[in-house]
Amino acid sequence: MRIIVMLAVYGSLVLINIRGVRQGAGAVTVITVAKLLPLLLFVCVGIFFIHAPNLSWIGWPGSKSLGDAVILLIFAFVGIEVALIPSGEVKNPARTVPRSAYLALVVTTVIYILIQLVAQGTLGADLANHPDAPLAESAATFLGNLGRTILLAGATISAFGFVTSDILSSPRMIFAFGRDGALPQFFAHVHPRYRSPDVAIITYAVLAFMLSISGTFERLAVLSNVAVLLMYLLCCAGCWVLVQRDVRSDGEPFNFPGMKIVPALAILAIIWILAHATVREFVVTGIVLALASIVYLIRGQLRRKS
């Protein structure tokens, strides 16, 4: 049944997105609102049912347990780089985009902290006994079974929303690779009627579906985080060099205290988080990078010969 549901989800999203970006973007907007409402209800009502003793700490977590939690938790914060995609259409992007990114991260972090406070403040130590649906069990303590149902529905909508947003944006990278020659031209095919990258959308959906049925959410999330953190590591290294050289473009850059050391601190933090990944994640990521490099080199050789 799990596989059938996943097949139905990806199949419906492929059909929606092939019909055009407007339909895909509309679905993302509706689902985003629908998944935020249960969380706002959870925080706004649950904050009045927090028991202060439930928030006390018996002791500080060790480096390993903290790192193992962070390498999974970071999944909730990745994706901020997607905000850079439309930055070419923004006025004064050198200042506007960083401010927007920081604001988004601050708002997201505050919401996550409030959710954690309500969940832990209502369930206390019992929170660890509900790893599959902790927020639903927390909501049940002050909203009853109706609250549990609302939060379960919200979790389902949120997961569906993530897939909806992902399948709207990510296939465009496959399309760009095909257009630029990094992949066969076939992947840059455009639907004759809807003008959408249909082959790229179908290809991405098939790959995502195969990965979805191959492992648990936790394993796939950590695997994804390792790949993303490696990309972030390269970006932080590049940012550090650009800041040291005072490279500027598109107007006056966004400056803040400690700007020159933040990239270095971020690099150290990323290395610490990656140190808690398993050999499996690094092996899988290495294989993917090796295959991608081989395809890139072969395509380059073919282009030069032609």
pLDDT of residue 85: 64
pLDDT of residue 90: 67
Q: What confidence category does residue 24 fall into, taking pLDDT thresholds of 50, 70 and 90? A: low
Q: What confidence category does residue 113 fall into, taking pLDDT thresholds of 50, 70 and 90? A: very high
pLDDT of residue 201: 92
Task: Tell me how far apart the alpha carbons of residues 73 and 67 are, in angstroms, rounded to a whole number.
Answer: 10
Q: Is the pTM of this model over 0.75?
A: yes
pLDDT of residue 115: 94
Q: Residues 66-85: what's their mean pLDDT?
A: 81
Task: Tell me how far apart the alpha carbons of residues 189 and 126 are, in angstroms, rounded to a whole number.
Answer: 53
Q: At residue 168, does pLDDT exceed 90?
A: no
pLDDT of residue 251: 66
Give the angle subtended at the CA of 303 by the CAs of 301 and 305, to the nearest 5°: 70
Task: Tell me how far apart the alpha carbons of residues 29 and 36 are, in angstroms, rounded to a whole number.
Answer: 11
Q: What confidence category does residue 86 fall into, taking pLDDT thresholds of 50, 70 and 90? A: low
Most confident listed range (92-101, 203-212, 289-298): 203-212
Using CA atoms, how far residue 70 sits from 73, 101, 249, 269, in Å, is: 5, 21, 34, 11
Q: Residues 7-13: what's their mean pLDDT?
A: 89
Query: Token pair of 162, please?
Result: 């993530």
Mean of the per-residue pLDDT values of the chain: 85
Task: Tell me how far apart the alpha carbons of residues 111 and 105 are, in angstroms, rounded to a whole number.
Answer: 10
Q: What is the DSSP string of 62-118?
A: PHHHHHHHHHHHGGGTTTGGGGGGGGGGSSSHHHHHHHHHHHHHHHHHHHHHHHHHH
What is the radius of gyration, based on Cα positions, of the chain? 22
Residue range 264-299, pLDDT digits in tens: 999 999 999 999 998 988 998 999 889 888 888 887
Q: At residue 258, does pLDDT exceed 80?
A: no
Task: Tell me how far apart the alpha carbons of residues 160 and 156 are, in angstroms, rounded to a whole number.
Answer: 6
Contact (Cβ atoms closer than 8 angstroms) between residue 46 and residue 197? no
Domain ranges for the chain: 216-306
Q: At residue 81, does pLDDT exceed 80?
A: no
Q: Residues 118-122: what's their mean pLDDT?
A: 95
By mean pLDDT, which of 65-69, 100-104, 282-286 is the weakest?
A: 100-104
Contact (Cβ atoms closer than 8 angstroms) between residue 157 and residue 35? yes
- Percent over 90 (pLDDT), the chain: 29
Q: What confidence category does residue 206 fall into, taking pLDDT thresholds of 50, 70 and 90? A: very high
